[in-house]
Amino acid sequence: MLVTFWGHEFKVNMFVACLGGFLIAIVSSMFGFGGGPFMVPLLTVGLGLPMYVVVGSSLLAIFFNTLMGSARHFQFGNFDLTFFLIMFPAAILAGFIAPMIARRISPITVKRLAVIGLVALALSLLGLY
């Protein structure tokens, strides 16, 4: 499929993109997370698209998944309204606070911190720690 982005043309292997997106969507909706950190590498590394094409478009793709996943979870009775009303305002508030902090902090530092945190969390989930 040919995608035109700001006057540039990119050839996208839709088979890989859709298959990858499909699999990521299953896992992410099953475990209840967004899936962005997996979609972006798939499209940039897997399909060689530049980052600036990927960020917005992958968000749009993920939005479809989140919408459907939420609806299905709701259908299966996995949605807890009180719990949602606790977390939702917190998430919105965080969306306003985060950009203020983002200016003063290097994303690389955050990512390195995140790596340590993620590994620690993963080991605890696997029962190794």
Partner 1 sequence: MNRLIASVIFSLCVAGLGLGPAGTRAMAADTPAATPTPVTVATPAAPANTITAAIDKSSLDNGGSITVTGIAPPGKPVFIEVWADKTLKASRFDSDPDKDTGVRPYILYMSTDMPAYYKLFVPKDQQARLDAIKKEGKQWSFSKALKDLGADGVYSAPARIKIDRFQATLMGSIVGSRGDLLPALDEKENKKRSMQLVKARFRDADKILGAAVVVEPDGHFRAEIKVREGLAPGKYNVVASVDKKTRSAPVNFENKIAFPHMYLENAGTSLNIFGPLLLTMAVTIFGVLMGAGGGFILNPLLLSIWPLPHTVVAGTVMPTVLFAQGSGIYNYSKIKFISWKLGTAIGLAMVVGGFIGPKLTELITLDQFKFVFGWILLVLAGLMLWQTTPGYLARNKKEQAILKEFQKRAAEAKNQPAKA
**Binder among 13, 19, 46, 48 for partner 1 (CB under 8 A):** 19
**Binder among 11, 13, 18, 46 for partner 1 (CB under 8 A):** 18
Task: Please measure the distance between the N-terminal and C-terminal CA atoms of the chain and give it in whole angstroms.
Answer: 46
Gap between the Cα atoms of 7 and 48, Å rounded: 18
Residue 27 found at the interface with partner 1 (CB under 8 A): yes
Residue 111 found at the interface with partner 1 (CB under 8 A): yes
Tell me the closest approach of the beta carbon of residue 114 to partner 1, in angstroms.
5
**Binder among 13, 46, 48, 120 for partner 1 (CB under 8 A):** 120
Total binding residues for partner 1 by CB under 8 A?
102
Q: Are 67 and 24 in contact (CB under 8 A)?
A: no
Per-residue binding letters, 35-74, with partner 1 (x by CB under 8 A): xxxxx-x--------xxxx-xxxxxxxxxxxxxxxx-xxx
Residue (of 52, 60, 44) closest to 12 by Cα position: 44
What amino acid is encoded at 127 in this protein? G
Tell me the closest approach of the beta carbon of residue 49 to partner 1, in angstroms.
8
**Binder among 11, 13, 22, 48 for partner 1 (CB under 8 A):** 22
Gap between the Cα atoms of 83 and 86, Å rounded: 5
Gap between the Cα atoms of 34 and 27, Å rounded: 10
Q: Are 69 and 29 in contact (CB under 8 A)?
A: yes
Residue 9 found at the interface with partner 1 (CB under 8 A): no
